[in-house]
Amino acid sequence: MARLHLFDLDGTLLHGTSAPVEISRQLGLEAETVALDRAIAAGRIGPPEYATEVYALWKELTQEHVTAAFAAAPWLTRIQEVWTEIREIGDYCAVISLSPSFFVERLTQWGAHAAFGSRFPALPFREPVDPVGILSSAAKVRIAGRLCAEFGVGLADCVAYGDSMSDKDLFEAVPVSVAVNADRHLAGRATHTYAGQDLWNAYELVRHVR
């Protein structure tokens, strides 16, 4: 039976940071976005409020900024090697993140079968952000269900990789999970735990788990 590997982005594939912080760094607005990351991690704001705030910071954002942020971001090593093996053995891999889809979807170029993020207007922004398109922890489970149907697997055949409370619902919905450089809230909910900067080593923990 094939498996579906579901990867978070912020703090998981990206080490110690988030896509919005890396995007904002290109605009000189890193500190403001780090503060928003702390606020959402502490539960003081939710995903829609977070999206509205970063949208307001990104008035001058262009695709060129996003390309530069993606290239300069501190990715874990061996992401593409992991996804290549997953494909070669007949499994599937996808990224589901609360970060903007215009950043997340670039990971299909690295070998992810699918990549989902929060929907923002096209760049440069001419329209307001719609809260309906902003993902949540619960939305990750719904998207995972749709991917399972597409790939012909069940949630019982999924492995989730994440680092924070935005991954909580997904960790509770699948039988195998890897807490990657996770905060204390998530680490105790995972079947496996990894600390480091090499995705292969995290993948190795569940590589032969069926």
SS3 state of residue 95: strand
- Across the range 47-76, mean pLDDT stands at 97
Q: Is the pLDDT of residue 177 over 80?
A: yes
Q: Which residues of 172-198 are buried (b: 16+ CB within 10 A; e: fewer)?
A: ebbebbbbbbbeeebeebbbbbbeeeb
Q: Find out whether 32 and 50 touch, Cβ atoms under 8 Å.
A: no
- Residues 133-163 pLDDT 10s: 999 999 999 999 999 999 999 999 999 999 9
- Residues 105-115 pLDDT 10s: 999 999 999 99
Predicted pLDDT of residue 76 = 98
Predicted pLDDT of residue 91 = 97
Q: Find out whether 4 and 91 touch, Cβ atoms under 8 Å.
A: yes
Q: d(Cα 64, Cα 105) in Å, to the nearest integer?
A: 15
Predicted pLDDT of residue 193 = 95
Predicted pLDDT of residue 208 = 85
Query: Whole-number mean pLDDT of the chain?
Result: 96
In order of start, what are the domains of the chain with their CATH numbers?
A: 4-16+74-204 (3.40.50.1000)
Determine what percent of the chain is predicted with pLDDT higher than 90. Answer: 93
Residue 41's nearest CA partner among 55, 68, 60, 21 is 21
Predicted pLDDT of residue 192 = 96
How many residues does the structure list for the chain? 210
The DSSP call for residue 16 is T
Q: Is the pLDDT of residue 129 over 90?
A: yes
- Across the range 23-27, mean pLDDT stands at 98
Q: What separation in angstroms does the CA of 58 have from each of 53, 117, 205?
A: 9, 17, 38
The DSSP call for residue 164 is S
Q: Find out whether 11 and 179 touch, Cβ atoms under 8 Å.
A: no
Q: Find out whether 66 and 102 touch, Cβ atoms under 8 Å.
A: yes
